[in-house]
Amino acid sequence: MSDLSNPIFHDETKAREWLEARVWANGRSCPHCGVVDQSTLMQGKTTRPGLYQCNACREPFTVTVGTLYERSKVPLYKWLAVTHLMMASKKGMSALQISRMIGLPYKTAWFLCHRIRESLRDTSLPPMGGANKVVEADETYIGGKAKNRAKRQPAPKQAVFSLIEREGHVRSFHIANVTATTLRPIIAKNVELASMLMTDESTVYPKIGAKFANHGTVNHSAGEYARLGGYIHINTAENFFSIVKRGIIGSYHHVSEAHLHRYMGEFDYRYNTRTVSDFERFSGSIPGIVGKRLTYRRIGEIGAN
């Protein structure tokens, strides 16, 4: 049976019950006061399904309060269907394609996609790497080429910096520029000093790498891509960037500076869950919706930092 034939993608009640089982996996908690399992299901004739009243603070709530889905007029099952399509597409799926498949206006699909991308971003993760572990660091640039434009010049390319642990996870950052001043605090915060850091020959890395257990480099400008029997390389990071660029060129065609950090969060999440099934990847993304309500005003904020 196809994942998309699952009732949670077609039936509002099934979708709500499925969401409740995951958001309230450790007990039904009130989003207003935090009390767990101290609420009563309201069953009046005009009461909407899934509405509870907290016995402690007396405030009503549903499973969507305090999440990305709060006050949304889009049916819950469509939210879940859009999320699944994004999680099942290795290189992403455009909002225009989703609008056609799900039956939503383009602007609505675009907004849903950005809210879902925001839920995939986790900025409170512990440092990666550690003793006897290798972390690769590399940067790339996202944007079009001037030679491909018939008339006006393309927008300036945007820099993206990624840290990727071999056989592990990746973290990407939309940065203002590629300098030691910009990269040093990002690496210091996200990589343990006991790690072995692998980079290319860029001059921004030697002083940063000196603080780690080991710092290996490869000279791409000289045609060198691996040393010491293939141990010293940043091919893992390069492979990740190839997925990102194929997704942006083939699926999205263009991403704006304001939203690039959200697109990178989406690519990071899919890469970090590459070993599980599409439905498991979709299901694992749901906890991220809690506490991340995103309005139109917030969705337009500039993301480079």
Question: 220-278, pLDDT tens digit by residue?
Answer: 888 888 988 888 999 999 999 999 999 999 999 889 899 999 999 999 999 999 999 99
Provide the pLDDT for residue 297: 59
Full pLDDT tens readout for the chain, 305 residues? 578 899 999 999 999 999 999 999 999 999 999 999 999 999 988 899 999 999 999 999 999 999 999 989 999 999 999 999 999 999 999 999 999 999 999 999 999 999 999 999 987 889 999 999 999 999 999 986 666 666 777 778 899 999 999 999 999 999 999 999 999 999 999 999 999 999 999 999 999 999 999 999 999 888 888 988 888 999 999 999 999 999 999 999 889 899 999 999 999 999 999 999 999 999 999 999 998 776 655 555 544 44
Phi, psi of 211 (to 5 degrees): -85, -10
Provide the pLDDT for residue 49: 92
Element (H, E) at 199: strand 196-200
Provide the pLDDT for residue 143: 83
Question: 183-201, pLDDT tens digit by residue?
Answer: 999 999 999 999 999 999 9
Provide the pLDDT for residue 150: 64
User: How far apart, in whole angstroms, are the C-alpha atoms of residue 269 and residue 258?
Assistant: 19
Provide the pLDDT for residue 233: 95
User: How far apart, in whole angstroms, are the C-alpha atoms of residue 187 and residue 182?
Assistant: 9
3-state DSSP assignment of residue 154: coil
- Say how many C-beta atoms besides its own lie within 10 A of residue 47's C-beta: 12
Provide the pLDDT for residue 222: 87
Give the count of alpha carbons within 13 A of 185, CB side only: 5
Q: Which residues contact 304 (CB under 8 A, 6 or more apart)?
A: 158, 174, 175, 176, 257, 260, 261
Provide the pLDDT for residue 159: 95
Tracing tokens 């899919």 back to the chain, one arrives at 270
Provide the pLDDT for residue 304: 41
